Amino acid sequence: MSGAPPATAWREAIIERIVPRTARISSFYLRVPWPGHVAGQHVDVRLTAPDGYQAQRSYSVASASGASPAEPSAAATDQASIELIIDRLDDGEVSPFFHDVAQLGDAIELRGPLGGHFVWRPADGGPLLLIAGGSGIVPLMAMVRDWAAMPPATASPALLICSARTWEDIVCPDEWTALQAARPDFGFIAATTRGSQHRDTDITRRLDATLLRNILTGWGHTPRHAYICGSNAFVESVAGGLTAAGLRPEIIRTERYGG
């Protein structure tokens, strides 16, 4: 690594690609001086209005870390393209800016990567249980992408459970179904609360303790690490469900997006 800025330094990021993922969620690829990150970390984004008013929000990094477990900084470069995935909240301040105002080539202020608790490195191993509510999938995407990049013989099983209103509200479902088809040690379950069942293995009700217990029994592995991300209410409910289902609280890490 040569000359990459410290994570805490505000710097300019350029929007170089925008990819719609669902009706209200899009990926924003930002080119930015980047010191490298660990899956699960986030950035802070700061917008400044012409009158000086500033708004700052956090967004998880969806990109794989690209770092090898042996040499965490090996892939760090001065410049990187990082993927943020932002859910448009109708009454929000910053997320509608990204969806309605931001254009390719625009510059925004960013600092990061930040956060040292809600992270997973390939060396941390598994089995790995990842549970997302809505856009809470973003940091878990980075973890799955890092997991998928490991040599299969060295990876422990991983299970990704995505809760969303409908199948169409799930971010990048094709990536998860393709990985599931390619890797028997990767499981993907969609838990939709309003839509119809998409696949036989999907679920059409909220994740509660009974359901989580059944899923874990069906999976057949005892998680070594469990990560939950989503709204406050979702995280609270799923964390309670997992402990009721017998998981030790020490193995459960949570990230709350608000709401």
Query: Cα–Cα distance between 223 and 10 in angstroms, integer?
Result: 37
Sheet architecture: strand order including 54-60 = 54-60, 42-48, 107-114, 11-20, 25-34, 77-87
| 69 in Cβ contact with 76 (< 8 Å) | no
125 contacts: CB under 8 Å, gap ≥ 6 = 156, 224, 225
- Number of chain residues interacting with ligand FAD (CB under 6 A): 21
Return the residue of 21, 42, 111, 225 that touches ligand FAD, per CB under 6 A.
42
Among 66, 92, 125, 195, binds ligand FAD (CB under 6 A): 92
Cα 86 from Cα 24, distance rounded (Å): 8
Residues 235, 242 contacting (CB under 8 angstroms):
no
Site for ligand FAD in 219-258 (CB under 6 A): 231, 255, 257-258
**Touching ligand FAD, residues 47-66 (CB under 6 A):** 57-60
- The single residue among 94, 102, 178, 203 that binds ligand FAD, judged by CB under 6 A, is 94
> Cβ closer to ligand FAD: 155 or 235?
235
| Integer Cα distance of 135 and 21 in angstroms | 11
- Which residue's CB is nearer to ligand FAD, number 74 or number 233? 233
Which of 51, 71, 91, 100 binds ligand FAD (CB under 6 A)? It is 91
* Residue 137 lies near ligand FAD (rule: CB under 6 A): no
Contacts to ligand FAD by CB under 6 A: 42, 57-60, 85-87, 89, 91-95, 135, 138, 231, 255, 257-259
